[in-house]
């Protein structure tokens, strides 16, 4: 394969991974805000009937999760081997938690973005052998 094509493909995959990771950070920060501050006409996010957690706990958990995505993204951008694995685990956990909170037939944008993040990280790792 032409080296310029491989480099361009890696650049595009890196861009997707960066965008999807930033989306996950922003999604969890916004969710934390919506749990912490009651905004008329928006309300608080629905976590479903399976768990009884206070809004404050959900806000803190979402901030923590956003921070974990930042750590994973930093590790990934510094080309640390653990960074890509960390992003994969966080995205997979995000999918699992969405299904636990909302049910297995409730596909959200969050689930789709997490799935795309996993696919792109795995594709990048395969293309770059490591």
56, 32 in Cβ contact below 8 A? no
Question: 31 with 45: CB under 8 angstroms?
Answer: yes
State yes or no: pLDDT of 5 exceeds 50: no
Domain boundaries, the chain: 7-36+52-127
Structural contact between residues 14 and 125, judged by C-beta atoms closer than 8 angstroms: no
Tokens in use for 51? 């768990």
Question: Each residue of 24-55: pLDDT tens digit?
Answer: 999 999 999 999 998 888 777 777 777 788 99
Other CB atoms within a 10 A radius of the CB of residue 12 amount to 12
Compute the mean pLDDT over every residue in the chain, rounded to the nearest whole number: 86
What percentage of the chain reaches a pLDDT higher than 90?
A: 50
Mean pLDDT of 112-122: 90
Query: For the segment 59-81, what is each residue's pLDDT rounded down to a tens digit?
Result: 999 999 999 999 999 999 999 98
Q: What pTM was estimated for this model as a whole?
A: 0.84
Whole-angstrom distance, CA of residue 9 vs CA of residue 47: 38
The answer for residues whose C-beta is within 8 angstroms of residue 62's C-beta and 6 or more apart is 28, 29, 31, 32, 35
């Amino acid at each position: 394969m032409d080296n310029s094509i491989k480099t361009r493909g890696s650049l595009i995959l890196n861009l997707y991974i960066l965008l999807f990771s930033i989306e996950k950070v922003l999604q969890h920060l916004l969710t934390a805000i919506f749990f912490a501050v009651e905004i008329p006409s928006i309300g608080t996010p629905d976590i479903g009937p399976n768990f009884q957690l206070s809004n404050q706990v959900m806000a803190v958990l979402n901030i923590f999760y956003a921070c974990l995505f930042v750590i994973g993204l930093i590790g990934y951008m510094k080309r640390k081997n653990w960074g890509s694995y960390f992003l994969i685990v966080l995205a997979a956990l995000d999918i699992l938690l969405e299904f636990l909170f909302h049910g297995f037939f409730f596909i959200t944008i969050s689930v789709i973005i997490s799935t795309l993040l996993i696919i792109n990280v795995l594709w990048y790792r395969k293309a770059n052998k490591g």
